[in-house]
Chain A
Amino acid sequence: MKKNLFLFALFFLLSFMVGGNHAFAISQKIYDQAGLLTDREVTKLETLATQVGEKWDTDILIVTVNDPNIDVKQYTEDFYDEKIDEQGLDKWNVAMLTVDMNNREVYLAGFYKGKLYLNDSRLDNIREQISPALTAGNYEHAFEQFIALVDDYMAGEPANLFLQWWFQIIIAIIIGGVITGTFVYNSGGRVTTNNRTYLNTNTSRILAKRDDYIRTVVTKTRKPSQNSSGGGITGGGHSHSGSRGSF
Chain B
Amino acid sequence: MVIHYKCPNCGDDMSFDSESGKLTCLSCGRQDAIENFSDEFITTTFEENETKEYHCENCGAVLLTDADTVATTCSFCGAGVVIAERVSGTLAPSLVIPFSINKDEAVAAFKKWCKNGLVTPNDFMTADRIKKLTGMYVPFWMYDLNSRVRVSGSGTKVREYTSGDYIYTETSYYRIFRDINLDYMKVPVDASEKMEDGLMDKLEPYKYDQLKTFKTPYLAGYLAEKYNYDDKALLPRAKTKIQSFIDSYIHSTVSGYATFIPEQKEIESKKMKSYYVLLPIWMVTYHYRGKDYIFAMNGQTGKVVGKPPISRAKVAGWFGGIAAITLLIFRLVTFFMGGGLI
Contacts and interface: CB of A to CB of B under 8 A. Distances in A.
Interface of A: 13, 16-17, 20-21, 93, 112-113, 116-117, 157-158, 162-163, 168-169, 171-173, 175-177, 179-180, 183-184, 187-195, 197-200, 203-223, 225
B119 A195 contact: no
B176 A210 contact: yes
Contact of B170 (A194, A214, A216): A216
B339 A193 contact: no
B175 A173 contact: no
Given A157-B339, A184-B119, A205-B181, A223 B169 contact: no
Nearest to B248: A195
A216 B249 contact: no
A198 B330 contact: no
A229 to B, nearest CB: 17
Interface string B301-334: 0011111101000010011111110110011111
B10 interface: no
A201 to B, nearest CB: 9
Nearest to B164: A223
Contacts of A21: 335-336, 338
Given A113-B338, A214-B173, A203 B205 contact: no
Contacts of A203: 181, 183
A7 to B, nearest CB: 14
Contacts of A157: 339-340
Residue from A157, A163, A213 having most chain B Cβ neighbours under 10 A: A163
B204 interface: yes
Contact of B168 (A193, A200, A219): A219
Nearest to B251: A195
Nearest to A184: B119
B323 A173 contact: yes
A223 B162 CA distance: 8
B223 to A, nearest CB: 22
A238 to B, nearest CB: 14
A220 B336 CA distance: 39
A207 B322 contact: no
Interface in B146-170: 154-155, 162, 165-170
A16 B245 contact: no
Nearest to B317: A180
B129 interface: no
Nearest to B184: A198
Contact of B183 (A168, A204, A218): A204
B327 A189 contact: no
Contacts of A219: 168-169, 171
B186 A211 contact: no
Contacts of B336: 16-17, 20-21
Residue from B118, B305, B306, B321 having most chain A Cβ neighbours under 10 A: B118
A116 B338 CA distance: 7
B205 A204 contact: no
A163 B329 CA distance: 11
A199 B181 CA distance: 11
B311 to A, nearest CB: 10
Given A191-B202, A217-B173, A206 B330 contact: no
B270 interface: no
B322 A179 contact: yes
Given A158-B337, A183-B119, A197 B327 contact: no
B69 to A, nearest CB: 27
Contacts of B166: 220-223
A171 B330 contact: yes
Nearest to B338: A113
Contact of A208 (B179, B304, B335): B179
B167 A207 contact: no
B305 A189 contact: yes
B337 A163 contact: yes
Contact of A199 (B184, B244, B304, B319): B184
A93 B186 CA distance: 68
B310 A209 contact: no
Nearest to A190: B202
Contacts of A113: 338
Contacts of A217: 170-171, 173
B59 interface: no
Given A206-B178, A212-B174, 4 more contacts: A176-B320, A189-B303, A205-B180, A222-B166
A199 B182 contact: yes
B248 to A, nearest CB: 5
A154 B249 CA distance: 54
18 contacts: A13-B332, A16-B336, A116-B337, A158-B334, A183-B118, A187-B118, A189-B203, A189-B304, A198-B242, A199-B182, A199-B184, A203-B181, A207-B179, A208-B177, A211-B174, A213-B172, A220-B169, A223-B166
Contacts of B102: none
B120 interface: yes
Contacts of B51: none
